[in-house]
Chains A and B, each alone.
Chain A
């Protein structure tokens, strides 16, 4: 996006965000990102399968340290993301407005950005609360203290939806980060640019490099690479719209590949797909990105 006002302006190069750095694809490819009306906005990076593997490697490398941070600290960092989103609110609105120009559906960029910021704050607050709500002490018939704690799954791959270019990512990424997962996010294929701006926000808000990696490019090959990768613990296929025929095929194949490598597959529920509504945020979205560990501890005198 060029600078407003006079002058030549500085066109922005939209790159991917991997391991805390903004990188081009290893393949060197790009694809045109167009507004809903068909105007060329910029050329986004067309990420390759190799880029997916590189991103998974750094996400795996960053995961243990991210999960080892205290819940309070993770909450503080995620809250800081919301702060920076708020300070760059005008830019996010401008990006969204550009992307949705010419759309038949009535778009409300300012509304979407506001909900995104509020949602991020909401999830930040869950960091030190979700274990009490999702876990608990279990009543068992025996001399045991039996309790269940939610733990992060590890590396989560997230295919973001097209219909809410910013809010769709926020609604799936934030709950994945809360328990201490790291993420490889595939930006929505149609409107990838705002995801890169979100990556800039993440890069400047104390989120350690590698915790969130944002790739842009064609959805089908990248989802396949993510789902088939043995070191991805969970894939979120919310970006594959069940109403869309091609997307449904991609999702079906991704589920088959994920099964081969015993990777959990999650989807946003129908209710959660109403991105602007309160139903799209829930502690159960965090739960989808958790493993549950149950401990039997003998008790006696």
Chain B
């Protein structure tokens, strides 16, 4: 990563700050960050220091009430008839059909791939999903089934879901998944380092993962449910994007708190501001706890209103889900026939 020219620097409002780098001031709003300040003062050195690549990025304080309120307002947007059909079809196109269970078998992955290619066998108008997301062990199976199709293979890697394995092992896992045929790699941000104020370490690990991933797209999971505040979410978003992430992703789906609309809005705003400062368009993937068609179009509304129609594309927006597709298909079926079908009509 290159350091940002001074002219790009945006002036964040500074109130309370610890550890400065250049003229950037880090804001302290969370318990986690206060813990970091203790560590910084106790162990002077790199802790709390800001990687140069982040200097000048708009890591401004967030407005939690504003985010919640705007997300709630956007969630009320009424989407009907043709717009609803278009939104549901787009949700299918942007979907990462996911199975991340300890009991995943090649057979299950194969049937998921079949479903990814032709989500609704009776209706060819329903497009294929964006990608199938599996554990590294099963990347080969998915890659074989999806070779020559528009559906990509995504793999979690880097000691998913905690992300706390030895860095060498994590990088090897990423490289392994890529060479097995993964087009996209989902890693987790090292929240341990991030929350302890070792931003440099967290940054370097993402950058190294990007390198290890090679041609594959890198999605960085922030696990926002564990970050504690919107300020931390914004800071983690900026850190991941500056370190080279192609996508930033909300959650692993493995902890209780998953994607929420305000968190997605917060990250979308970070993506927008990063694009303004850096010029690079980073994607957003929302994942975890998204089960209903209505939730999916609420996220689409947030994307469209925050980032514009350019981001309503599988290259820049993804929904990671395992059971969402069935509800979307059910709603599409209902739009076509006018009747609510049995939910068990769609399986897998």
Using a CB–CB cutoff of 8 Å, the interface residues on chain A facing chain B are: 53, 56, 60, 228-231, 260-261
Contact = CB atoms under 8 A, between A and B. Distances in A.
B65 to A, nearest CB: 26
Contacts of B340: 53, 56, 228-231
Q: How large is the interface on B (under 10, 10 to 19, 20 to 34, 35 or more residues)?
A: under 10
18 contacts: A53-B340, A56-B340, A60-B343, A228-B339, A228-B340, A229-B339, A229-B340, A230-B339, A230-B340, A230-B341, A230-B342, A230-B345, A231-B340, A231-B341, A231-B342, A231-B343, A260-B339, A261-B339
Contacts of A261: 339
A229 to B, nearest CB: 5
Contacts of B341: 230-231
Q: What 5 A-B pairs have minimum CB-CB distances, sorted nearest first?
A: A230-B341, A230-B342, A231-B342, A229-B340, A230-B340
A57 to B, nearest CB: 8
A228 B343 CA distance: 14
B120 to A, nearest CB: 15
A144 B106 CA distance: 39
B102 to A, nearest CB: 24
A230 B341 CA distance: 4
State the majority secondary structure of interface residues on B.
loop
A230 B345 CA distance: 10
A231 B334 CA distance: 12
Contacts of A229: 339-340
Nearest to B343: A231
A191 B9 CA distance: 70
A51 to B, nearest CB: 13
A60 B342 CA distance: 10
Given A229-B339, A230-B339, A261-B339, 15 more contacts: A53-B340, A56-B340, A60-B343, A228-B339, A228-B340, A229-B340, A230-B340, A230-B341, A230-B342, A230-B345, A231-B340, A231-B341, A231-B342, A231-B343, A260-B339
Contacts of B339: 228-230, 260-261
B338 to A, nearest CB: 8
Interface string B316-348: 000000000000000000000001111101000
Nearest to A230: B341
A250 to B, nearest CB: 18
A116 B254 CA distance: 50
Contacts of A56: 340
Interface in B20-61: none
Nearest to A261: B339
A49 to B, nearest CB: 10
A260 B340 CA distance: 11
A229 B343 CA distance: 11
Nearest to A228: B339
A261 B339 CA distance: 9
Contacts of B342: 230-231
A230 B343 CA distance: 9
A61 to B, nearest CB: 10
A53 B343 CA distance: 12
A243 B341 CA distance: 32
Interface string B131-170: 0000000000000000000000000000000000000000
Contacts of A228: 339-340
Nearest to A260: B339
B227 to A, nearest CB: 32
Contacts of A231: 340-343
A241 B343 CA distance: 32
A60 B345 CA distance: 14
